[in-house]
Amino acid sequence: MSDRPRLAVLAVLAAAGAAAGAYFLWPSGRHVASCPPPHAPMPKEARRALTAYAGRIRHTVERQVDGQREESWADTLTGRTREVVFRDGRAESALETIRGVRWMRSIWVLYDGHVWTSHRTRVPAGASIAFTAVDEAQANRDNVAHGRARIVGKSRVDGMQAVRLHEALAPPALGLDTWVDSNTYLTLRQRFTAGGLASTTNEDWLPRTPANVAKTRLVIPVGFKRPSDRETVFTSGSRTIKLRSRRCA
């Protein structure tokens, strides 16, 4: 399984008391052994093809069975990302993350409440600033090589020849299917199932243009306020959300 769905950003949202979408852009703090397993070999042809993705903007669109849609853009050079959650066709919330060497800043906007907040967390030692196309392709190959995922078939996704990988998660009712490009092993589509619920995420890589880079940046709407209290509780859409604001006097 690609580590993309399990990201450090989720810890930030958990600290804010939010239940957010599962697809952000950096690997989570999965336990790393003192001697991690070696990487699976990557064919020269695949590595050569991946050089064309350097500096591109990774774009994902996740759709859930309840109609919620989450769209994200990530700058693989700077590590800056923006995700927008849509419900009933309207933007409900947005999150921007800005990565530094030691700190990561998250800015969260809730449109129904006309408020925004920010949160800063320390970046784990040794963590990379961005998760590149090479990183993602390598992670998919490693998952197969080390038995975390198995190849279950081949198909075409958006006109591209794809290999389908399946990973059984714990508990057994959970599962993840990942369709990867048969040459590069870049993720094209993922489908996560949990009992009778499911979400599907499509992924592509946008050219590095000023317009696409701008999509990674969050603009706080005029008139939106930042809560001054230590914690503010209000309802946004179908959820009750707690925002914690750390503002020094």
Would you call 21 exposed, middle or buried from its count of C-beta atoms within 10 A (0-12, 13-18, 19+)?
Answer: buried
Q: E strands along the chain, which residues?
A: 57-64, 69-75, 81-87, 90-99, 103-110, 115-122, 150-157, 160-168, 174-181, 187-194, 197-206, 231-236, 239-244
pLDDT at 131 over 90: no
pLDDT at 8 over 50: no
65 residue type, one letter: V
3-class SS of residue 74: strand
Q: Does residue 117 lie within any of the structural domains?
A: yes
Q: Does residue 65 lie within any of the structural domains?
A: yes
Q: What token pair was written down for 227?
A: 């809560």
Q: Does residue 177 lie within any of the structural domains?
A: yes
Q: Does residue 126 lie within any of the structural domains?
A: yes
Q: Does residue 35 lie within any of the structural domains?
A: no
- Tens digit of each residue's pLDDT (9 = 90 or more) over 160-185: 999 999 998 877 778 999 999 999 99
Query: Is the separation of the CB atoms in 139 and 186 below 8 Å?
Result: no
Expressed as residue numbers, the domain containing 160 is: 9-28+42-244
pLDDT at 239 over 80: no
**Of 74, 99, 51, whose CA–CA distance to 4 is shortest?**
74
pLDDT at 170: 79
CATH of the domain at 172: 2.50.20.10
pLDDT at 35: 66
Would you call 170 exposed, middle or buried from its count of C-beta atoms within 10 A (0-12, 13-18, 19+)?
Answer: exposed
Q: Does residue 235 lie within any of the structural domains?
A: yes
Q: Does residue 2 lie within any of the structural domains?
A: no
Q: Does residue 150 lie within any of the structural domains?
A: yes
- Tens digit of each residue's pLDDT (9 = 90 or more) over 20-32: 333 333 333 334 4
- Work out the number of other CB atoms within 10 angstroms of the CB of residue 28: 15
pLDDT at 5: 39
Q: How far from the centroid of its chain's Cα atoms is residue 125's Cα?
A: 20
> Which runs of consecutive H residues, i.e. helices, occur in 76-176?
133-145
pLDDT at 90: 93
Q: What is the mean pLDDT of the chain?
A: 81
pLDDT at 33 over 50: no
% of residues, the chain, pLDDT over 70: 76
pLDDT at 249: 44
Count of structural domains, the chain? 1
Q: What is the pTM of this model?
A: 0.78
pLDDT at 15 over 60: no
pLDDT at 49 over 60: yes
